Chains A and B, each alone.
Chain A
């Protein structure tokens, strides 16, 4: 009998595959980005089935919640001319099809092999109080401390690069100096002038 988990797996897998296909076939880039979000959600679901809840949540939190939002942000502001984008399509089409055919052939050759399915080992089930967050944390700070620290350096490089590439001090920029604004006193802004009363003109 097919277990409930198998059904859920196939549902999520179908959803992910469908969304992934739509990412590349959707005509509108915003739709494509949204389908990518859907694909991420499907994958997060599959990870949950594998009891990798930390990865699943992080996928949602980081990719769906932050990265893709910024992605959408940019895509929405682009003025993309679809006609122009499609111009060279037919010229490269045969080439693409040939490459895809080779890839599919290889994939079928490798993955269609019956032995592949058998080599997979069953998922080790854990108790309810097993926390894979703790396990991950332990691994990151022991076995994988070197790559982990380097990943932090990678982020530092990204910060340095992003700042170096985007920070321009424009001369005509009118940004305010907040510290100055806060430190302002009444006397700097208001001058009370005594206006002598005038007599009504005759």
Chain B
């Protein structure tokens, strides 16, 4: 496999010269983005199926065998629907907002390693890059809310902006703990830092367990998922920031939300669950390619997202803010100090 890639690169280099690098990068981007889009589509199906099973009902099962063509049907429906722009909306921003929401959700994938060396860009400050990109996602939402010129959309946008900023802090601090443990901001190095243990005992979720929990919950809040989906709280503000969107505009927001979910799942696998590493480093397990372990871990984290949605009732806004500011941020700060002190002792085994 690796040799094949190398010969491919070599021939490309010989054929196209300096133009090869952009082309090769483009190919890699497509190879990353296309499966993500596919996963988003089937994640929606998985969500409906899993919710269905948890609520003892079959879920979608009409389109295709076992409902497998349902995402396709949904996609076509959204594509063909009319795009309605409210009369007093700010047209340019109204159209730009969904793009702004989707762009950072996809851009962040550039540094995520799917296997050893399998990443688009090996960036030293990868962790910072991820934080920077995810922090941009809020613009799509806030601009959508404002440009729609609708009270519901605006309220949703404000809620979401405040929520995302609050949880970003906790998320950032949780990641700083990882940085501390791995002593690197390169995501590949972070995974490699978890390899010198006995399989899953070497993963960071053990010493950083509270941070793992905080990171994941903050991730749920960052992506506006239940039980923190106050930005689109249908009971009080219709559909929040995307109330006024229809057709593809709505679809892009949808894509962004799910792409963000998958991203959070991927990141928590990389940071805390050893990325592409097998859980037990012996024969049958380390035969399987790292990519599959990575995908397996991501699927597990995604399942948690869906499980949360089926299980927990929605938070009230003040409870949400309280959790973010008064529980998570102090907790992460304390744990940061604990980890820093712990690392100075011989008891630090990671």
A residues in contact (CB < 8 Å) with B: 30, 34, 37, 53-54, 57-58, 60-61, 64-66, 69-70, 72-73, 76-77, 128-129, 131, 133, 175-176, 178
Q: Which of A58, A66, A69 contacts B128 (CB 8 A)?
A: A58
Contacts of A30 in B (CB 8 A): 146
Stretch at the interface among B53-61, B131-139, B286-294: B131-139
Judge whether B125 and A60 touch: CB under 8 Å: no
Q: Is B259 positioned at the interface, with any CB of A under 8 Å from its CB?
A: no
Judge whether B131 and A76 touch: CB under 8 Å: no
Count B-side interface residues using an 8 Å CB cutoff: 27
Q: Is B319 positioned at the interface, with any CB of A under 8 Å from its CB?
A: yes
Judge whether A54 and B128 touch: CB under 8 Å: yes
Known contacts A37-B139, A70-B161; 17 additional CB pairs below 8 A are: A34-B93, A54-B128, A58-B128, A61-B131, A64-B132, A65-B131, A65-B165, A69-B161, A72-B142, A72-B146, A73-B162, A76-B142, A76-B146, A131-B125, A133-B125, A176-B318, A178-B319
Nearest-neighbor residue (CB-CB) of B147 within chain A: A30
The 5 closest A-B pairs by CB, nearest first: A65-B135, A57-B128, A60-B132, A61-B132, A57-B132
Judge whether A178 and B322 touch: CB under 8 Å: yes
Judge whether B124 and A69 touch: CB under 8 Å: no
Q: Is B129 positioned at the interface, with any CB of A under 8 Å from its CB?
A: yes
Q: Which of A65, A69, A175, A176 contacts B132 (CB 8 A)?
A: A65
In Å, the complex CA distance between A106 and B128 comes to 39
Within 8 A of A (CB), among B161-213: 161-162, 164-165, 168, 172, 185
Q: Which of B123, B135, B154, B322 contacts A61 (CB 8 A)?
A: B135
Judge whether B135 and A64 touch: CB under 8 Å: yes
Judge whether B168 and A65 touch: CB under 8 Å: yes
In Å, the complex CA distance between A61 and B123 comes to 16
Contacts of B132 in A (CB 8 A): 57, 60-61, 64-65
Q: How far does the Cβ of A122 sit from chain B's closest Cβ, in whole Å?
A: 22
Q: Which of A37, A53, A175 contacts B318 (CB 8 A)?
A: A175
Q: Is B158 positioned at the interface, with any CB of A under 8 Å from its CB?
A: yes
Q: How far does the Cβ of B344 sit from chain A's closest Cβ, in whole Å?
A: 15
Mark contacts of B204-226 with chain A using CB atoms, 8 A cut-off: 1 yes-contact digit, 0 otherwise.
00000000000000000000000
Judge whether A64 and B146 touch: CB under 8 Å: no
Within 8 A of A (CB), among B134-160: 135-136, 138-139, 142-143, 146, 154, 158
Contacts of A178 in B (CB 8 A): 319, 322
Judge whether A69 and B131 touch: CB under 8 Å: no
Contacts of A34 in B (CB 8 A): 93, 143
Judge whether B136 and A70 touch: CB under 8 Å: no
Within 8 A of A (CB), among B295-320: 318-319
In Å, the complex CA distance between A73 and B142 comes to 8
In Å, the complex CA distance between A37 and B100 comes to 13
Nearest-neighbor residue (CB-CB) of B131 within chain A: A61
> Could you name 14 residue pairs across A and B whose Cβ atoms are closer than 8 Å?
A30-B146, A53-B128, A61-B128, A61-B132, A66-B168, A69-B161, A69-B165, A70-B165, A73-B142, A128-B124, A131-B124, A131-B185, A133-B125, A175-B318
Judge whether A69 and B138 touch: CB under 8 Å: yes
Judge whether B143 and A54 touch: CB under 8 Å: no
In Å, the complex CA distance between A150 and B143 comes to 37
Q: How far does the Cβ of A50 sit from chain B's closest Cβ, in whole Å?
A: 14
In Å, the complex CA distance between A30 and B139 comes to 12
Q: How far does the Cβ of B33 sit from chain A's closest Cβ, in whole Å?
A: 21
Nearest-neighbor residue (CB-CB) of B138 within chain A: A69
Most A C-beta atoms less than 10 A away, residue of B123, B135, B162, B319: B135
In Å, the complex CA distance between A61 and B173 comes to 13
Contacts of A54 in B (CB 8 A): 125, 128
Most A C-beta atoms less than 10 A away, residue of B125, B154, B172: B125
Q: How far does the Cβ of A93 sit from chain B's closest Cβ, in whole Å?
A: 29
